Structure 1
Amino acid sequence: MARKAGFVGGLTPVLITLWVGALWMTGITASVLFQTILDRSLAGLVAGKLFTIVSYIGIGSGIWLLIQRLASDGFSAFKQSLFWIVFVMWVLVLVGEFGIQPLLAQLKASALPNDVMQSVFASRFKTWHGIASIAYLVECLLGLWLVIKSS
Structure 2
Amino acid sequence: MPAARLLVAALWAGVLWALGYIAAPAAFAVLDSVQAGDLVAVLLTRQAWLSIACAVVLLVLLRLSTDLAPPRRKFLSLLVLAMLACTLVIFVGLQPAMAQLRELAGPGGVRASPYWTQFAVMHGVSQLFYLVQSLLGAWLLVRLR
Per the normalisation by structure 2, the TM-score is: 0.88
Tell me by how many angstroms 1:77 deviates: 5.9
1:34 is the counterpart of 2:25: no
Report what 1:51 is aligned to: 44
CA contact (8 A) 1:82 1:146 kept: yes
Instruction: Report which structure shows greater RCO (CA 8 Å, sep ≥6).
Output: 2
1:83 is the counterpart of 2:41: no
RMSD of Structure 2 on Structure 1 (CA): 2.0
CA contact (8 A) 1:78 1:84 kept: no
CA distance in 1, matches of 2:71, 2:59: 9
Report what 2:98 is aligned to: 104
Report what 1:135 is aligned to: 129
Paired letter, 1:106: Q
Which runs of no fewer than 5 residues in structure 1 stay unpaired? none
1:93 match: secondary structure: helix
Per the normalisation by structure 1, the TM-score is: 0.85
Paired letter, 1:136: Y
Runs (4 or more) in structure 1 with deviation over 6 Å come to: none
**Which of 90, 113, 118 is the aligned partner of 1:119?**
113
Paired letter, 1:51: L
Tell me by how many angstroms 1:78 deviates: 8.3
Tell me by how many angstroms 1:63 deviates: 1.1
Aligned residues: percent identity?
31
Q: How many residues align?
A: 142
Of 50-59 and 76-85, more deviation after overlay is shown by 76-85
CA distance in 2, matches of 1:77, 1:94: 25
Which runs of no fewer than 5 residues in structure 2 stay unpaired? none
Report what 1:63 is aligned to: 56
1:120 match: secondary structure: coil
